[in-house]
Amino acid sequence: MNQEERALAFTALHRKGDPIVLYNIWDAGSARSVAEAGARALATGSWSVAAAHGFADGQKLPLAVLIEVVREIVAATDLPLSVDFEGAYSEDPAKGAANVAEIIDAGAIGINFEDQVVGKGGVHAIDKQSARIRAIREMAERQGIPLFINARTDLFLQEGDAAKHAGLVDEAIARAAAYAEAGGSGFFAPGLADVGLIARLCAASPLPVNVMMKPGAPDLAALAAVGVGRVSYGPFPYRAMIAWLRGEAEKVYGGAGK
């Protein structure tokens, strides 16, 4: 498949009640392993890619490094690749869109694009975030790539008290509608783990809803039953791999590094 065909195939995998499952990767080696395990598409996690290269999350990884990682992953497999692109490395709509163009040029067919104000806290106003999404969509159309823009809201991640998540669902629904109108392809609500609230969001969202699998989250069958269209694993595969690696190394070195 060419890049346009991969983008269309990736979009078609997002089906309400029959979610695409993305076990997030961080480099060409992890991409090959997950592809060989039977994945139908690939997606990076920003936390994992940054950590694998010695950086913290939050756009601390240099953009040039990320672009090279994307090129290496695309070269390693034939699967569609979505890149967790955080805030597109710019709050300015035009500059953010130009940065996304570099990710497309590297071979990606989708991005995660979040509404948090990276490094400052809080989330962008709906109209500002919509303008940023619109600029990315217009750029992708000019390039002839039906880019999958997974519009992410950080409302739930930024509220650590899950008991307060019910009070955020109405705003999340409003953001899903606005992001869809601006050109979003999917709506990502990481941090939301209550199956009833996820069901409410799925019923109201005009976009397929992406939920992040984490400890304590509903299982895949429960998420499919309430209409989720995409399930991803975020940083957890990388963290599990690193914990295993450290454990094995400690067996060799006798835990001397503790």
Q: Which residue has the tokens 């217009």?
A: 138
Give the pLDDT confidence score for residue 215 in this predicted structure.
87
Burial (CB count <10 Å: 0-12, 13-18, 19+), residue 220: middle
* Total-model pTM: 0.96
Instruction: Say how far apart CA 83 and CA 123 lie, in whole Å.
Output: 21
pLDDT, position 257: 58
Report CA Rg, the chain.
18
64-108 per-position pLDDT tens digit: 999 999 999 999 999 999 999 999 999 999 999 999 999 999 999
201: left (phi over 0), alpha (psi -120 to 50) or beta: alpha
Tokens encoding 177: 């509608």
Q: Residue 255: is its pLDDT beyond 80?
A: no
CATH of 3-253, one of 3.20.20.60, 3.90.79.10, 3.40.50.10320, 3.40.50.300: 3.20.20.60
Please report the pLDDT score of residue 216 as a whole number. 86
Contacts of 32 (CB under 8 A, 6+ apart): 76, 77
Q: What percent of the chain has pLDDT over 90?
A: 97
With H, G, I as helix, E, B as strand and everything else as coil, classify residue 152: strand
Range 173-202 average pLDDT = 98
Distance CA 97, CA 92 (A): 8
Contact yes or no for 6/109 (Cβ under 8 A): yes
Q: How many CA atoms lie within 13 A of 26 on its CB side?
A: 23
Say yes or no to pLDDT of 258 above 60: no
- Return d(Cα 169, Cα 199) in angstroms, integer: 11
- 3-state secondary structure (DSSP) of residue 228: coil
Work out whether the CA dihedral 16, 20, 23, 28 comes out positive or negative.
negative
Count of H helices and E strands in the chain?
A: 10, 8
- The two tokens of residue 204 are 């109201």
Domain range list for the chain: 3-253
Q: How far is CA 31 from CA 13, 92, 104, 168, 222, in A?
A: 18, 31, 18, 35, 27
Residue 100 in contact with residue 145, Cβ under 8 Å?
no
pLDDT reading at 144 higher than 60: yes
Helix/strand/coil for 217: coil
Q: What are phi and psi of 249, to 5 degrees?
A: -65, -35
pLDDT 10s digits, 197-218? 999 999 999 999 999 998 889 9
Joined tokens for residue 23: 């076990």
**What is the average pLDDT score of the chain?**
97
Measured CA to CA, the distance from residue 188 to residue 186 in angstroms comes to 7
Please determine, for residue 159, whether its predicted confidence score (pLDDT) is greater than 90: yes
